[in-house]
Structure 1
Amino acid sequence: MVTGNQILAYGLIGVAGTLLLKKASNAYYLDATFLERIALTHNVDHYKFAYKSKNAPKTMPILSKAFLKTPDNQKGEFTPIFNDDEGYIHFSIKNYGRTVSGALAQLQPGVEGIRISKPRKHFKEDVPLDKFKQVYLIGAGVGLAPLWGYMNACLKKSESPTKIKLIYANHSKDDIIFKKELDDLKIKYSDRLEVVHVLKTQVDGKEGEFTKYVGSRLNKEILKCELSTGAGDDDVKVFVCGPKKFVSMVSGSPWWYGGSLKDLGFKKDQVYMFH
């Protein structure tokens, strides 16, 4: 039989445990300042933050992720897109008009109460920047953001032999984020970077870079054409990021491997999926 004293003891233990968890959670987050918001498309914004603490990380590691809390305690997890702007944190976030993205869209620079967690790795193993001979990046919409950091870091590593092909799907050309920056990278690293656009809507026939795949969503036939080599090759890796249905079509999910890449002969350990 449980006595009153035992019930009280269990209750005190529960309260103590809750307080410890709350304290640990608070220690995981650091106060941050919201500095800037720039519109990238009609529904994607670029946000710039800075940690307030002197003990905060100076940079966000490549392929890391962090939680962000708004003053009204809306929370979301995002991948920083730059790691070379010391002292600052950059996110590109699609505004869905609700939860954390909707709350962020209403904030003004300088507002107090933003908290950002310490970064943690997307993948258990470290992903090298200079080991693979070929990397395919497959993204849709704002799904380019997590791929962007790896692509830039890899290209800037001058001794890296890695060639990169970005296959980037969007509804229209107006939904492409970092269009100018992509064009600049294509010129600067013309021997190492190839960009393939896939657009659902039609474009002017004179716009050559958009005429290869228009009026269609990304599908297995396009992937078969663009990923014609590398299946089964450990020196070839594929990174995938986008909406759940998009990722499912391309590679399954982080919890089960499948989709077009599996059908095309790519091994599970060749593929990195963001989630």
Structure 2
Amino acid sequence: MSFIRLATPLRSAVPRTAYRRLSTQTTPEKKSNNTALYFLGAGIAGISGYIYLTGSATAKVKATNTESPLDPKSFKDFKLKEIIPYNHNTARFVFELPNNEAALLPVASCLVVRSPEDLPEDDPRALKDSKGKPVIRPYTPVSQPDEPGVLTLLVKKYDNGVASKYIHELKVGDKLAFKGPLPKYLYKANEFEEVALIGGGSGITPLYQILTHALPDPANKTKFTLIFANLTEEDILLREEFDDLKKKYSDKFDVVYALDKPKEDWKGETGHLTGEVLKKYLAKPELGEKVKVFICGPPGQVNAIAGKKDGYQQGPLGGILKELGYKEDQVYKF
């Protein structure tokens, strides 16, 4: 808050006759300056008092809960607080957590969502597929696990995406049911010397969760390389955040963007991720247990690079990574 805004109400409280008296004094400058100094001192004192009481003018509120307000065994409804458009087909959906609590999601983990619990399944507004069956979909939040009061999903709307369309039709004040957290991979600091993360489209969110957890840790020694494939430059999600991470942690993080349909001035990788491209950026498989590759993206991309998942199980390693000599315990498919 500026001094002018603080001082203005004080000035307005002085009677106009006082200003007229000041203007007709034979020694107006001295008294006027004293008055100005008085108000300046009062303004500074007010600011100082505010900072003293709050700790700082920009003091951050921290969550104090030790247990997550989410439930891994049952769905709970949370209200949509804000919608923040991201690009032509993606937006951030910010849901409100009670009592300014934090989600406390372990890294790496996800949530599953469905239509609100207080909405009967036979209600036409419920989230259902073309056969009328309830639809449940997993999402990895992009808000930080310790961020108080909010749970944020970054959702890309797909033409054939029943859940993504449903979420994009929500309005502020509407509810969505969440269940979780559901652990995926228990990340341990400095477990590996080098980690490669291969992402495609909206599959970037679990990889983002790992990076924003590991890189800010002052004790982190692991080198991370993100290879992020998209259709066009406009489709690159969280690009500003990744570029910022690269600036802050240039000795521990690098990011490579690849596009199927680049513009003429594009300087990154082009086309699908091939063995030749991956070999340029991935740590050698000969490093054994010192290297890990995480991958998340459209099923076709995951199948081609690491082999098909077996439902919720990893399934056998296949595709390009197997051809390059990686072993199953070196690869994890989200």
TM-score bracket for this pair, using the shorter chain length: 0.7 to 0.9
Contact 1:59–1:87 under 8 Å retained in 2: no
Aligned-CA RMSD value: 2.2
In the TM superposition, 1:229-248 aligns within 5 A as 229-248=284-303
Q: Give the greater-gyration-radius structure (CA).
A: 2
Structure 1 counterpart of 2:168? 105
Q: 2:225 aligns with which of 165, 168, 177?
A: 165
Structure 1 counterpart of 2:319? 259
Q: Distance in 1 between matches of 2:184 and 2:315?
A: 14
Q: Distance in 1 between matches of 2:229 and 2:85?
A: 19
TM-score (norm 2): 0.67
Q: Unaligned stretches of 5+ in structure 2?
A: 1-70, 117-124, 128-135
Tell me if 1:46 matches 2:92: yes
Change (3 A) 1:163 1:241: same
Q: Unaligned stretches of 5+ in structure 1?
A: 1-24
In the TM superposition, 1:2-13 aligns within 5 A as none
Contact 1:80–1:89 under 8 Å retained in 2: yes
Residue 161 of structure 1: how far off its partner (Å): 0.3
Q: 1:73 aligns with which of 126, 131, 143?
A: 126
Contact 1:232–1:267 under 8 Å retained in 2: no
Q: Distance in 1 between matches of 2:209 and 2:258?
A: 21
TM-score (norm 1): 0.81
The alignment of Structure 1 onto Structure 2 pairs a total of residues equal to 241
Q: Distance in 1 between matches of 2:91 and 2:258?
A: 22
- Counterpart of 1:63, as a letter, is A
Tell me if 1:139 matches 2:139: no
Deviations 1:31-58 (A, max 9, x none): 2111122222222222211334x6x864
Q: Distance in 1 between matches of 2:327 and 2:287?
A: 6
In the TM superposition, 1:126-275 aligns within 5 A as 126-205=186-265, 210-214=266-270, 216-252=271-307, 253=309, 254-274=314-334
Contact 1:65–1:119 under 8 Å retained in 2: yes
Contact 2:194–2:222 under 8 Å retained in 1: yes
Tell me if 1:84 matches 2:137: no
Q: 2:109 aligns with which of 49, 60, 64?
A: 64
Q: Distance in 2 between matches of 1:248 and 1:163?
A: 26
Larger fraction in strand: 1
Change (3 A) 1:119 1:57: farther
Deviations 1:61-85 (A, max 9, x none): 2211111122433232111223231
Deviations 1:127-171 (A, max 9, x none): 213221111000011111110010111101110101100001011
Q: Distance in 2 between matches of 1:107 and 1:66?
A: 18
Contact 1:59–1:89 under 8 Å retained in 2: no
Q: Distance in 2 between matches of 1:241 and 1:58?
A: 22
Q: Distance in 2 between matches of 1:61 and 1:152?
A: 12
Change (3 A) 1:263 1:188: same
- Counterpart of 1:76, as a letter, is R
In the TM superposition, 1:112-131 aligns within 5 A as 113-123=175-185, 126-131=186-191
